[in-house]
Amino acid sequence: MTESIMKNMPTINSVDGFNPADFTRRLPNEDGSLSLYLDVKYRLLWFRLHKPNGKIDTEIIHVDEKSAVVCCKLYDDKSDPADQYVARSCAQRFLTSEKFGDRYLEIAETAALGRVLAAAGYGTQFCGSTDLLGDIIADAPIDMAAMEDAQDATPDSGAHVMHQVTSTASPQAPATPVPTPTSVPSKQNKPLSLDELLNTMTLDDAKNVIVDVGRYAGTSLGQIVMSNPRDLEWYVKYYAGKNLALKAGAILLMNAATTKAS
């Protein structure tokens, strides 16, 4: 069903070997229907692949004991003047009594990142309308039922077949294969626990984990190890999000660094 829907999706910011539709997940709606959603971490990955010299500037506009406002600007190139950004978006979040509700600054930053990436065309067609910690949703998602109705009502035209999910068994491999991030669980298997990840993850796997929150969002743990290895300690001690691969990778890399130092 996803393949038929994606046939009518126009290609935006296409990258050889990377199909964002492969990383979407289905979110249930209140009426029982499903919507497609692309997590912010995969929007960041998409942007880094498409614009390796691009940058995202994050600015804290306001923060106090109750709320935070964060704005992000996206640039095609890190050398672009400050006023020549491609997109700019802001997000506000409030302190709540819910789990992780005290992390409103971090959540506001993730929301702003998701919004600015969607505004620049990285995931505009795969966004939702509900806030989830670590998966801050910025826009309306694709209504799969509506898409199917539109497809049935519109004759199939080759001019619109721009973006299609391909099988991994395709005989023609992409020119630049992109490894699936470590944090992606199998759709058919139960997500791994932290202990299971620690027992199965290699150091190379750990280095390839993409950070999806905070000031290092969009950066791999391997890059952090090379530039600021001590910053891994925060993910080891304080990170409590849903991305267990991030915490497991930080633990493995910290242990490796400690062993090497001793």
For residue 68, what is the domain's CATH number? 3.30.390
Q: Which domain holds residue 250?
A: 194-261
Q: Which residues are within 8 A (CB) of 18 and not within 5 positions of it... i.e. 6 or more apart?
A: 45, 46, 49, 174, 178
Do 15 and 142 fall into the same domain?
A: yes
pLDDT recorded at residue 160: 34
Asked which of 118, 150, 182 is the last residue of a domain, the reply is: 150
Higher pLDDT, 124 or 21: 21
Contact status, residue 120 vs residue 56, Cβ threshold 8 Å? no
- CA-CA distances (angstroms) from residue 64 to 60, 61, 93, 222? 11, 11, 11, 33
Is pLDDT larger for residue 155 or for residue 224? 224
Residues 14 and 102 in one domain: yes
Question: 49: pLDDT confidence band, cut at 50, 70 and 90?
Answer: very high
- N- to C-terminal Cα separation, the chain: 54
Query: Residue with structure tokens 């620690």?
Result: 198
The amino acid sitting at 17 is G
45 and 100 together in one domain = yes
With respect to residue 105, please indicate whether it lies within any of the assigned structural domains: yes
**Residue 137 resides in a domain:** yes
201 vs 162: which has the higher pLDDT: 201
CA 261 – CA 164 distance, rounded (Å)? 48
* Structural domain includes residue 187: no
pLDDT band with cut points at 50, 70 and 90 for residue 126: low
